[in-house]
Amino acid sequence: MFTCASCNILACRTGELEKMPKNCPMQDREFFDKVLEEYFKPENHDFYLTSTAIEYLGYCKWPRLRETAEFARRMGYKRIGIAFCVGLHKEASVVEKLLRKQGFEVVSVACKTGAIPKVEVGYSPDMLLRPGSYESMCNPIAQAKLLNKAETDFNICLGLCVGHDSMFYKYSDALVTTLVAKDRVTGHSPAAAIYCADSYFKTRNVIEE
Ligand code: SF4
């Protein structure tokens, strides 16, 4: 089993391969040689090199929003899709405007599109956020398919819920980058709960039975 998250050697970072642990994935060189070939496929090569160049160009200077725009511009993308959570409608509108100002065509689709009540998909009425009231289901498959229909070159995920985001990635034809990871408790900064895992979030991070 691979346990990179608990490895303190990090030979992959330093290049000191003679120090790699016994269960290091790098023990299998053939695997990495094969993987390297993938990057040379036409659909991957420019995309990968451009994203790596963005890391260099914007390193500790550009916020992710700018990195996203710079990346899309360098890739020659014209039409950008935004799949957003209605709870972040205002933020989606800011991103839409900024990207339009940069010259992109922007297609945006809200998570509640379709206005299908949650119960219609088989969800329990007992678990509605406000039982007895109308609640539309989030519809990540529709978001992806609508952006597919619009033939977007590249899609942005802006604040979709855990799992809904996964379904959006699954159904999106265009590759997706995540601009905002939804976290209602931390102001959409999920890393805050990790940084404070031993302090303020000590009890809130654990799963309660
Ligand atoms: S790839 Fe190898 S050296 Fe790098 S973190 Fe994983 S186990 Fe450690």
Q: What is the pTM of this model?
A: 0.95
Kindly report, as residue ranges, where domains of CATH 3.40.50.11840 are found in the chain.
63-209
pLDDT of 140 reads 98
63-106 pLDDT per residue, tens: 999 999 999 999 999 999 999 999 999 999 999 999 999 999 99
pLDDT of 8 reads 97
Sheet of 176-180: strands edge to edge? 105-110, 79-84, 154-158, 176-180
pLDDT of 141 reads 98
Domain 63-209 class, CATH top level: alpha beta
pLDDT of 171 reads 99
pLDDT of 209 reads 63
Q: Residue 11, Cβ neighbours under 10 Å: how many?
A: 15
Q: Is there a contact between 69 and 154 (Cβ–Cβ < 8 Å)?
A: no
Task: Give the CA-trace dihedral at 62, 68, 73, 75, to 10 degrees.
Answer: 120
Query: Best substitution site from 20, 22, 27, 35 to test ligand 1's pocket, by max atoms within 8 Å of Cβ?
Result: 20
16 CA → ligand 1 middle, Å: 11
Per-residue pLDDT of the chain (209 residues; tens, 9 = 90+): 999 999 999 999 999 999 999 999 999 999 999 999 999 999 999 999 999 999 999 999 999 999 999 999 999 999 999 999 999 999 999 999 999 999 999 999 999 999 999 999 999 999 999 988 899 999 999 999 999 999 999 999 999 999 999 999 999 999 999 999 999 999 999 999 999 999 999 999 888 76
Asked if residue 196 has its Cβ within 6 Å of ligand 1, the reply is no
Nearest to 40 by CA among 50, 32, 49, 30: 49
Asked if residue 10 has its Cβ within 6 Å of ligand 1, the reply is yes
8 CA closest ligand 1 atom index: 8
2 CA closest ligand 1 atom index: 7
Asked if residue 17 has its Cβ within 6 Å of ligand 1, the reply is no
Residue 192's Cβ-count burial label (10 Å; 0-12, 13-18, 19+) is middle
The neighbouring-strand residues paired with 84 are 110, 158
Tokens of 126: 């007992």
10 CA → ligand 1 middle, Å: 5
Tokens of 208: 């309660």
Tokens of 123: 């969800």
5 CA closest ligand 1 atom index: 5
